[in-house]
Amino acid sequence: MTKRCLILFLIISVSHGAIAQSKWFGGTIKRVYPLANGDFILIFNNDNPSCTNQNKYHYTSVGKNGVTKEGIQFLYSAALTAAASGKKVSINFDSSGKLCYVNRLQVTF
C-alpha cells in the first residue's frame, strides 16, 4: 500500500510541472484570424499583460493546452458569435509559453 501511495505521489509531482500556467483574461474581440490548418488566433481590443508575445495574439490549436478537434470548433463558433455581436469574452490561456494557447472561452451576454 505504501509503495502504491509513493508511486502515485511521484506521478502527481512529475506531471504537475507539465501543466500549463492557466490564467484568465477578458475583453472584446477585435479579430478572429483563421489559419489554413484549422487553428485560429484571437486578437483583442485591449492588450493582455500576461501574454508575452509581441502582438498579444492568443492562439487556439488542436493538441495545445488540452484543445481537441471537436473542442476547437466550439471555441471558434463562440469567438465568432462574440465578435459579431460585440460581446465581452473571457478566455483561459496558458501564460507559460509565448503563444498564449487558449483552453476555454466564455461569452458574456
Average pLDDT of 57-68?
97
- Length reported for the chain: 109
pTM (2 decimals)?
0.80
Domains of the chain in start order, with CATH, are 22-107 (2.40.50.70)
Mean pLDDT of all residues in 85-104: 96
Q: Please write the tens of the pLDDT for every residue from 79-92.
A: 999 999 999 999 99
- For the cut 80, the answer to whether the pLDDT of residue 5 exceeds it is no
Count of Cβ atoms closer than 10 Å to residue 99 Cβ: 18
Of residues 99 and 1, more confidence is placed in 99
For residue 67, count other CB atoms closer than 10 A to its CB.
20
- Joined together, the cell numbers standing for residue 25 give 483574461
* DSSP code for 68: -
* C-alpha count within 13 angstroms, C-beta hemisphere, residue 109: 2
Confidence bin at 18 (pLDDT 50/70/90): low
Which amino acid, 69? K
**Cell 502515485 sits at which residue?**
8
